[in-house]
Amino acid sequence: MGLIVIDLDINNLPLEDFMKAIGYEPIKKDGNLLIYNAPYSVGGNATMVVDTEKNGWYDSKEPEKYYGGIYDLAYELTGSCNRSELNLYIATQMKDFKEFKTYEVTVNGDEAEGDVTATPVSRPEQPKQQPPKPKRKMRF
């Protein structure tokens, strides 16, 4: 299995769209602020505030859940801090809401089910790096 490449600009993905993709609609709108039931809360209290101008969120009732972006929200939902897992989670949630492509990339020219294959690039003009020589040890 190769590397999966997701053609989706996750950093600039509007949080409003992500919340719609996971099935949440705003409870209240106040200018550029949208108030949601917190998807990470068991009680589902309307405490999550999304600022559409800054594309960030914060929890008004829980001070430890401070202002953050889409990755912070995905972390709260999944509990994973692995960026690759968060990318895959966000892309999976967005697949029915927004159209994007995924590619499977393989190494050494092996065939892949995806559209892209990658081969290692060799650059003969660069000399091969030698490991540094060991430093002379101190004698007593």
Integer angstrom CA distances of residue 80 from 9, 49, 61, 89, 138: 20, 22, 23, 10, 47
Q: How many CB atoms lie within 10 A of CB 60?
A: 13
Give the three-state DSSP class for 112. Answer: coil
Judge residue 140's burial from the number of C-beta atoms within 10 Å of its C-beta, 0-12 exposed, 13-18 middle, 19 or more buried: exposed
Q: How confident is the model over 59-84, as pLDDT tens digits?
A: 888 766 667 899 999 998 998 889 88
Domain residue extents for the chain: 3-105
Proportion of the chain in helix, strand, coil states, percent, rounded to 5: 20, 20, 60
Q: Which amino acid is at 95?
A: K
Number of helices (H) and strands (E) in the chain: give both, helices first.
Answer: 3, 6
The DSSP code for 64 is T
- Asked which of 10-14, 50-54, 87-91, 101-105 is least confident by mean pLDDT, the reply is 101-105
More confident residue, 31 or 130: 31
Q: What is the pLDDT of residues 89-124, one digit of tens each?
A: 998 888 888 777 777 766 655 554 544 444 333 445
Q: Does domain 3-105 have CATH number 3.90.580?
A: yes
